[in-house]
Structure 1
């Protein structure tokens, strides 16, 4: 079972990543797209659907006005 210190550090890191993504959505989307392309190529398309779904979630999370029902 992870210690509370590790969980606190992980939560702090996640908050920092969210803040960076909100301030730099273009960079985050570009890097996420490159990473998705790399993983898709390395797995020879085996997980193409899952990779595409994750990429959609990243893009949705980095939009300025996510719309109703979006929880932050």
Structure 2
């Protein structure tokens, strides 16, 4: 049962993050780029392609139009 509670909390947090990203795409894009640069610098470019791909996915999710209300 504790696992189910953790998964529920994680799903709620992910939904809240997705909603925030859709409402504030400029801020999310800026922070994702900054975080990607920080991690890339700390790993000395070893995972540059993976980090760049993750940043692009975050940015595309933030700029996607909001789904229609049900």
| TM-score, normalised by the number of residues in structure 2 | 0.85
Q: Which runs of 4+ in 1 moved over 3 A?
A: none
The structure showing larger relative contact order (alpha-carbon pairs under 8 Å, at least 6 residues apart) is 2
| Residue in structure 1 matched with residue 56 of structure 2 by the alignment | 56
**Higher percent of residues as helix:** 2
Match of 1:23 in 2: 23
Q: What's the TM-score once normalised by structure 1's chain length?
A: 0.83
Gaps in structure 1 of 5+ consecutive residues: 66-72
| Alignment partners' CA distance in 1, 2:4 and 2:64 | 33
Query: What is the count of residue pairs matched by the alignment?
Result: 65
**Aligned equivalents of 2:46 and 2:60: distance in 1?**
24
